[in-house]
Amino acid sequence: MQLAPAQLATHLQRGLRPLYTLHGDEPLLVQEAADAIRAAARSQGYTERTVHTVAGAHFDWSAVLAAGGSLSLFADKQIVEIRVPSGKPGKDGSAALQQVADGAAGNDSTLTLVLLPRLDFQTKKSAWFAALENAGVAIEVQPVERNALPQWIAQRLARNDQRVLAGEEGQRTLQFFADRVEGNLLAAHQEIQKLALLYPAGELRFEQVESAVLNVARYDVFKLSEAVLGGQVARVQRMLDGLQAEGEAEVLVHYTLAEDIRALKRVKDAMAAGRPLPMALREQRVWGVKEKLFERVLPRLSTTALENLLHGAHVVDGIVKGLKAPGWPTEGWQALHRLAMGLCLECAAQPAQR
């Protein structure tokens, strides 16, 4: 069965299942969910814990299978953790995980916890994951979206009996906090804990938060893609500067932008040929958050604008590889700024005239 992270606390109060699968790429939220399951298990007598981390294609799965069927002399209940950092258990691992799932039914002496990274669409359809999902509880830990981050911070502050001021100043404080920790929830959690140590319960002024919260944002090209397609000009500028400062490869940033432009053009062409939008998106393998962004921005983008952007992506491809182009900056990051802003402004514009 599938369970949302917000439902986990209520679920654990009702009783434990013998098998839990956590998957997602937000370390803090995965850690908190796993800690909640472990705490509930310890309260019900699961006093022993073994951890197996799958490293490489030659991992010995027999040790994992043996752990589920053996108990020590000192405990009658145990937790067996299986960590697959790559999300790809391989052929032997696939068979072993299906065997783990089969053995979970009715097993009240072993609680198995499987920890996985974010899984793609195909992996979620695999036989081994389906077996884990059907035999136990599967929890997909989604990252906190940027527009939800201020509210998430406010909720975390409330756990420490702290809050920002009401009204516009409070919102400005939360936005400042969100800007400083974007993409790094673990750092956000640490900063919130630091505020609890520095200041008493009650209201926090902007100056107090500003003086305490460090700039610990982490930027990645996938979040940059979401910001560009969302038409968030200021955020795109900040993320490009951050990626450059962190030493991200220009070629990788260009690839991400160019792939979005090519996908938008292909979907637009498919729609012009009579394909329904949902079908065109599936054919181009556009899923999740990006699917919603494409649905919003495609009516805003004319065919001419996409052709110009596609030409710009071709030009910037040469610039980041050392070539020069008339009318374009010679420096790679400046050219990437121009390309990203061109797409961002198009996505933020009013819908194109039909």
Report which of residues 19 and 212 the model is more confident about.
Answer: 19
CA distance 51 to 9: 23
Mean pLDDT over 122-130 rounds to 93
HSE (CB half, 13 Å, CA atoms) of 146?
22
The fraction of the chain above a pLDDT of 70, given in percent, is 96
Report which of residues 350 and 282 the model is more confident about.
Answer: 282
Residue-level pLDDT at 99:
92
Q: Over 248-268, what HEC string results? A: CCHHHHHHHHHHHHHHHHHHH
Question: pTM above 0.85?
Answer: no
| Residue 137, both tokens | 């509880």
Per-residue pLDDT tens digits for 144-170:
888 899 999 999 999 999 999 999 999
Residue-level pLDDT at 350:
60
For residue 75, name the pLDDT band (cuts at 50, 70, 90).
low
Task: Answer for the pair 171, 141: CB distance below 8 angstroms, yes or no.
Answer: no
Is residue 353 scored above 60 in pLDDT? Answer: no
Per-residue pLDDT tens digits for 215-257:
777 778 888 998 999 999 999 999 999 899 888 899 999 999 9
